[in-house]
Amino acid sequence: MYIPVIAGLLAAAAGDDPDALYADRANLASAKRAADIWAGNVKSDPNDFDAAWKLSRADYWLGGHAKEDEQRAYYESGIEAGKRAIALSPNRADGHFWVAANMGMLAESFGLRQGLKYRKPIKEELETVLRLDPAFRQGSADRALGRWYFKVPGLFGGSHKLAEEHLKAALKYNEQSTVTHYFLAELYEDDGRKAEAKAECQKVIAAPLDPEWAPEDQEWKAKARTLLAKLSK
């Protein structure tokens, strides 16, 4: 449970340190402040690779938590920042991954046209991450590719078999990944594998919080409880 008083103390302690502010991202004001600082850094120094990819990551988080009419602008900003990071360091995985993540949310959230527009570049960016650094962010490229193969219709390259393979590959880097187990739960539910879906939900709920990803872990746990209740009816 997020406690506003603690959040305020964390934000005050963070000051103008964008990394500390982003660590307190469950407080959206902190996340927005971090994004503003990184955007300012990119503006003052267009060659600041770290500021570029971190801005892309922050935009992804903000897009997922902003008001509906603000989400698209965050994701588009995230794509732009990620592309800047790629241009600065094409052999680093960070820019490629966060571009794909922001594109993925546009594809999922804004209809078929956006899905078709970004389908191919998302896959290309994630495959680039796999080539550069398969272990990046605890197997995030495999995890995101698993989601890609699950979400994309078979007519356009989707495959539940490949989705499962990539998601299980991601677990090699973190066996207790809440998001990976939740994605497997949704895949199994869709395939009518109810017992396996419930088992994956239970793994999400039982997993310890990762200090680096605690806000995300809390959200996946909440989603898993909801899905488990649905599966248990």
Write the CB contacts of 179 (distance below 8 Å, at least 6 apart in sequence): 143, 216, 220
Phi, psi (rounded to 5 degrees) for 110 = -125, 35
pLDDT given at position 116: 73
| Positive/negative CA dihedral, 194, 139, 83, 18 | positive
Question: What are 4-13's pLDDT values in tens digits?
Answer: 334 444 444 4
CA–CA distance, 222 with 66 (Å, rounded to integer): 19
Residue type, 11: A
Residue type, 79: I
* % pLDDT > 90, the chain: 87
Question: What are 172-220's pLDDT values in tens digits?
Answer: 999 999 999 999 999 999 999 999 999 999 999 999 999 999 999 999 9
Residue type, 216: E
Please report how the helices 93-109 and 111-132 are oriented relative to each other, as an axis angle in degrees rounded to 10.
Answer: 160
Residue type, 88: L
